[in-house]
Amino acid sequence: MRRSILSFLSGAALIVAALAVGPAAAEGHHEKKPEVHAWSFAGFFGSYDKSQLRRGFKVYKEVCSTCHSIKMLAFRNLAQPGGPQFSEKEVADLAASYKVKDGPNESGEYYDRPARPSDRFPPPFANEQAARAAMSGAYPPDMSVLVKARGYGRGFPTFLLDALPGLSYQEHGADYVASLLKGYTEPPHGVTVPDGQFYNAYMSGNRIGMPPPLSDGAVTYDDGAPQTVDQYSKDVTAFLMWVAEPHLEARKHIGQGVLAFLIVFALLLYFTKRKIWSNVAH
Ligand code: HEC
């Protein structure tokens, strides 16, 4: 009996030790936890900052869109309420500066024409293979839902809060993308990065096939916001968050309306109950 308990315990100890050492030994690297940002769209009353979305769009247009598509985004979306809210004229001019494929025409041919507000953003590459061929094998993912598709575990104790509806923190993906954009550094001593790859503190495995896309001063802002990698990263991430969740504000407004209704309803019930029972002796 005692021997079987002993062997059980030592077996369990071995498993625990293997679990503790295993991943670290197998991977030999560790990505940093994304920095937590103060997003305007976080929380129960959160909403997008229109100027930030406009700046973020500029960063996307001038930098990211040379490699990343946003297939779900049509030009006219940029004029919708809750978004960057460009004017109809601005959107029409912007669309006209892009070419899209259309056809077939009467002679059965496909042709290029200037885009219209109802068109979607033309992708930078014809297909995934063309993108990989241009990017030494790596594929720049489409950005339609990218911010919502990335996340990370916040660990104890915050993950307990994250499980509660209403209190949960939903900006993991945004924190990750913004941190990733700022996370390029020299590799630590003794770490080698293969050609065509770059060291990034936040990328899983610390190696990424995307060259550092941002540098201070690369995009000109006309609203006086700082032209720094830090600011660009936050702005473009906010824009991509809007792209992935354009109806966030409407959703939060419904929640606020429901809560306000419940409060009023509870008060009415309370006073009705008082009135009904007021003549009844205790
Ligand atoms: C020169 C082309 C290029 C440009 C410009 C570029 N990217 Fe990328 N991006 C890539 C490639 C290639 C990958 C895939 C990397 C990999 O899988 O290792 C990628 C991956 C990513 C990822 C996903 C990382 C992950 O967790 O898998 C994010 C987020 C991203 N890019 C954001 C951006 C943003 C934001 C911009 C604009 C500021 C931008 N990229 C500009 C080529 C580019």
pLDDT tens per residue across span 39-81: 999 988 899 999 999 999 999 999 999 999 999 999 999 999 9
* Residue 218: burial class (beta carbons within 10 Å; 0-12, 13-18, 19+): middle
Report yes or no on 257 lying in a domain: yes
Would you say residue 262 lies in a domain?
A: yes
Ligand 1 pocket residue status of 66, Cβ below 6 Å = yes
> Which candidate, 121, 27, 16, places its Cα nearest to that of 74?
121
Place of tokens 């096939």: 209
Number of compact structural domains in the chain: 1
Is position 135 annotated in a ligand binding site? no
Q: For tokens 């297939």, what's the residue? A: 71
**Per-residue pLDDT at 7:** 62
What pTM was estimated for this model as a whole? 0.84
What residue numbers bound the domain in which 201 lies? Answer: 24-73+127-267
Burial of 181 (0-12, 13-18, 19+ CB in 10 A): buried
| Residue 18, pLDDT score | 45
Q: Residue 187 C-alpha to ligand 1 middle, in angstroms?
A: 19
Is 115 part of a structural domain of the chain? no
Q: From the alpha carbon of 214, which atom of ligand 1 is closest?
A: 38
Helix (H/G/I), strand (E/B), else coil: 160: helix
Residue 42 lies in a domain: yes
Q: How many Cα atoms within 13 Å fall on the side-chain side of residue 130? A: 8
The tens digit of pLDDT for each residue in 124-169 reads: 999 999 999 998 899 999 999 999 888 777 666 666 666 665 556 7
Kindly state whether residue 137 falls inside one of the protein's structural domains. Answer: yes
Rg (CA), the chain: 26
pLDDT at 16 over 60: no
- At residue 93, the pLDDT reads 97
Q: Is 150 in the pocket of ligand 1 (CB under 6 A)?
A: yes
Instruction: Give domain status of residue 134, yes or no.
Output: yes
pLDDT of residue 226: 97
- 145 CB-contact burial (10 Å; exposed 0-12 / middle 13-18 / buried 19+): middle
Q: Is the CB of 229 under 6 A from ligand 1?
A: no
In a domain, 201, yes or no: yes
pLDDT band at 6 (very low <50, low <70, confident <90, very high): low
Give the three-state DSSP class for 172: helix
Q: Between 231 and 46, whose confidence is greater?
A: 231
pLDDT attached to residue 124: 94
The string of pLDDT tens digits covering residues 174-217 is 999 999 999 999 999 999 999 889 999 999 999 999 999 999 99
d(CA 158, CA 161): 5
Distances (CA, A) of 177 to 34, 201, 215, 258: 8, 12, 16, 32
Q: Over the stretch 73-120, which tens digit does the pLDDT of each residue have?
A: 999 999 999 999 999 999 999 999 999 999 999 999 999 999 999 999
Q: Supply the CATH number for residue 233's domain.
A: 1.10.760.10
Q: Considering only CA atoms, which residue is closest to atom 28 of ligand 1?
A: 177
147 lines ligand 1 (CB under 6 A): no
Q: Is the CB of 140 under 6 A from ligand 1?
A: yes
Determine the pLDDT at residue 44: 85
Distance separating alpha carbons of residues 166 and 252, to the nearest angstrom: 10
With a 6 A CB cut-off, is 141 part of the ligand 1 pocket?
yes
Give CA–CA dist 109/118, Å, rounded: 22
In a domain, 111, yes or no: no
Please check whether residue 142 is in contact with residue 240, taking contact to mean a CB–CB distance below 8 angstroms.
no
Closest CA to 227 of 212, 239, 216: 216
Q: Using the atom order of ligand 1, give the atom closest to the CA of residue 237.
A: 35
